[in-house]
Structure 1
Amino acid sequence: MKNLLALSLKTVQGELYVLDQTLLPHQQHWVHCTTVMQMVTLIQRLQLRGAPAIGIGASLLLAYRATQGDSREQLLQAAEILRAARPTAVNLMNNLDAMIRALQQADFADAAVACAEALFAEDVALCQRMAEHGAALVQPKERLLTHCNTGGLATAGVGTALGVISLAQQQGKTIQLWVDETRPLLQGGRLTAWECQQLGIPFQLICDNMAGMLMARGEVDRLFVGADRIAANGDFANKVGTYSLAVLAHYHNIPFYVVAPHTTIDLSCPDGSAIPIEQRAADEVRGVRGAFGQTLWAPEQAPVFNPAFDVTPACLVSGWVLDTGVYSQADIQTGILQQFASKSQQAMV
């Protein structure tokens, strides 16, 4: 396997390493990942997170196992175990489907490696094209707002929404970024803020419930968020709290964009009601856990509702920034998402 390097994933002399995102921003620790169950744990504990990165990480692990002599049957079983690791992120399902097709070939080990490497390279290219399309929307000196983490930590490339924002800054547009802390796991505060420091993006960290006040004061010009799954009608699932931002942006007449590769489109979901929403552990809401340990601020047995994602309806979206271009609600109503997803599926057969 080639030596590959992304912000959260790398392969070195055929070995796979994952940057433990739960220890950021204060510790950078690479985990040597060698087994299927280890990868499942890394994904479920959010040590590896971000829809594209999850799919690529799972694919690289299958490729690594193929180089270690696992049989076709063992690899196919492993793919199904990995598929169940995070149910909402459709990139994981799409990438594993591509790997399964590779495993049907006679030289399945070499085919698995080639497929995983191709998926990695594809994501790098998709991220760059999304960044270029989205950055063209940003005007000089705009104040942008984003939610969760959508940068290089979540992909193999420059990211989705944060990739757009980073390129706009590189183009000299002198933007200012509001970064939602993103409760309950603080991916904005821990990860996006860290990436912004690395990239030189001027930012200010805010609590999630401050966004509406900023919009009312006229201090937000445009929003960019990512997606874990886009339904055929343009509805999309993203980190919980995204829907609230979309409603606020709609009320205040502020452009709201979702940025994602075409590989995030799921034609099997006709609309957002068909997107499975992952429920996570109660302790994530009762308190906080990080490199410092764990702190509980709620009663230990307090009942908790903890969906990882919410669904934003297409009617609240100003535009879909894909690697193929920027599309309006009128475009979406013509069925353009189905065209892109169908072409993608045909190319992967």
Structure 2
Amino acid sequence: MDVNGKAFRTIWLKADEPTVIQIIDQRHLPHRFVIEDLRTVDDVAIALKEMHVRGAGVIGASAGYGMYLASLEAKAQDKFEVQGFLRAMGAKLCATRPTAVNLEWAVNRQLEAVAPLGNDIDAIIAKTLEVAGAIALEDVQLCKSIGEHGFELIKAISDKKQGDTVNILTHCNAGWLGCVDNGTATSPIYQAHRRGLKVHVWVDETRPRNQGARLTAWELGQQGVPHTVIPDNVGGHLMQHGMVDIVIVGSDRTSYTGDVANKIGTYLKALAAKDNNIPFYVALTYSAFDWTISDGVKQIPIEQRDAREVKYIKGLKDGEITEVLLTPENSPAVNYGFDVTPARLITGLITDRGICPATPEGIANLYPDLSRFSIVNQN
């Protein structure tokens, strides 16, 4: 996607130093555009944990490249038992963000790819680089496919409204900043905008880290997409007054039964949409499915983050990014990073293979090759 008219992705190999991974450090957006160098597994782990990068797609890509850096470290440290070292580094990466399934998926994909290579470190380095690049490129292509399928939903609403503006509400940042490119929830929006449909996006601010206000608004603005930032609590009011035509959000983990873990507050938007008969869709790639989980509410691990994120807020003041205390200093706070939206509240899933109901049968019909663990295939 474009940043000041120049094409960028969220993660890439440094052009003149291919042992270094570069990312857009999202902590500084929208006020500063900062590119960060990642040279070690610890660098990647910190970037994941402290949310220099965040969002299912780029979390997976970061884990893939993190395993490439792990193989470089194994050689530099002259590790004798390379496979064990890589497993340990993979576990370190997985511990950083427990809810996002793409992280573990990418690490396991790397470990499976190098397992036949034993301790041949040069072959392992080449393979981890190849797989990391494949994970990143695949995310770009899958997100583009989501956009093509989701475009049809927006077009149908546009046709029904005789070309009038389609108002879309989204939550958090399931945009290209949360992927490698295109995004999941935003991909259909970008497709519609490029093809000349009139769209407008209601952007939830998404407390406590304000990924909507900071990131989604910034990237929509960079692409020229009309949008309005709203407090998280406004969505229900807009729906009651006919100002939302469709809700599209992303997913950090989806059970094979259609329950969706996404940024905290998503569940409340789904409830409001259900009450107002507004279609509520979740956009995701196949890597966000967890084929071992049947009950998302009970089984998906929910990350609890530092209470400081709730008590303090960052913003630009006099040209400097400043942190400000919002609450009484001694008041405790709790910071659940995600909630789970039950499948019964979801109109459908917009995937890289098409749109399906949020049901075991609907998901298995699109992914018969992957849903081997599901009840549908076992019965």
TM exceeding 0.5: yes
Q: What is the match of residue 337 of structure 2?
A: 308
Q: What is the match of residue 52 of structure 2?
A: 47
CA shift, 1:144, in A, is 0.6
Give the counterpart of 1:195 among 197, 215, 219.
219
Matched, 1:118 2:143: no
CA shift, 1:334, in A, is 7.2
CA shift, 1:336, in A, is 3.5
The one-letter code sitting in structure 1 at the alignment partner of 2:9 is: L
In 1, Cα distance between equivalents of 2:336 and 2:369? 29
The one-letter code sitting in structure 2 at the alignment partner of 1:132 is: E
- 1:1-349 equivalences under 5 Å are 6-12=8-14, 13-14=17-18, 15-67=20-72, 69=75, 71=79, 72=82, 73-106=84-117, 107-138=123-154, 139-140=157-158, 141-272=165-296, 273-289=298-314, 292-329=321-358, 332=361, 335-336=364-365, 339=368, 341-342=370-371
In 1, Cα distance between equivalents of 2:258 and 2:54? 23
SS in 2 for 1:292: strand
Q: What is the match of residue 377 of structure 2?
A: none
Are residues 296 and 103 of structure 1, via their aligned partners in 2, closer, same or farther at CA, if it must alter by over 3 Å?
A: same
TM-score normalised to structure 2 length: 0.86
Say if 1:6 and 1:152, in contact at 8 Å, map to a contact too.
no
Which stretch shifts more, 242-251 or 9-18? 9-18
Q: Which runs of 4+ in 1 moved over 6 A?
A: none
Segments of 5+ residues of structure 2 without an aligned counterpart are: 1-6, 118-122, 159-164, 374-379
Are residues 337 and 270 of structure 1, via their aligned partners in 2, closer, same or farther at CA, if it must alter by over 3 Å?
A: farther
In 1, Cα distance between equivalents of 2:204 and 2:277? 19
CA shift, 1:299, in A, is 1.7
Q: What is the match of residue 120 of structure 2?
A: none
Are residues 160 and 334 of structure 1, via their aligned partners in 2, closer, same or farther at CA, if it must alter by over 3 Å?
A: closer
Say if 1:86 and 1:278, in contact at 8 Å, map to a contact too.
yes
Q: Deviations over 1:211-263 (max 9, x none)?
A: 11111110000010000000111001000000000000000000000000011
The one-letter code sitting in structure 1 at the alignment partner of 2:59 is: I
The one-letter code sitting in structure 2 at the alignment partner of 1:76 is: R
Say if 1:267 and 1:338, in contact at 8 Å, map to a contact too.
no
Which stretch shifts more, 183-192 or 62-71? 62-71
Say if 2:256 and 2:363, in contact at 8 Å, map to a contact too.
no
Are residues 182 and 63 of structure 1, via their aligned partners in 2, closer, same or farther at CA, if it must alter by over 3 Å?
A: same
Q: What is the match of residue 347 of structure 1?
A: none
Say if 1:21 and 1:47, in contact at 8 Å, map to a contact too.
yes
CA shift, 1:74, in A, is 2.5
CA shift, 1:331, in A, is 6.8
CA shift, 1:338, in A, is 6.2
The one-letter code sitting in structure 2 at the alignment partner of 1:222 is: I
* Identity among equivalent pairs (%): 37
CA shift, 1:67, in A, is 3.9
The one-letter code sitting in structure 2 at the alignment partner of 1:324 is: R
SS in 2 for 1:339: coil
TM-score normalised to structure 1 length: 0.93
The one-letter code sitting in structure 1 at the alignment partner of 2:29 is: L
Say if 1:234 and 1:337, in contact at 8 Å, map to a contact too.
no
Q: Deviations over 1:116-142 (max 9, x none)?
A: 111111111110110100111003221
Which stretch shifts more, 153-162 or 240-249? 153-162
The one-letter code sitting in structure 2 at the alignment partner of 1:262 is: Y
SS in 1 for 2:153: coil
Which stretch shifts more, 295-304 or 23-32? 295-304
Which stretch shifts more, 297-306 or 250-259? 297-306
In 2, Cα distance between equivalents of 1:330 and 1:25? 38
The one-letter code sitting in structure 1 at the alignment partner of 2:37 is: H
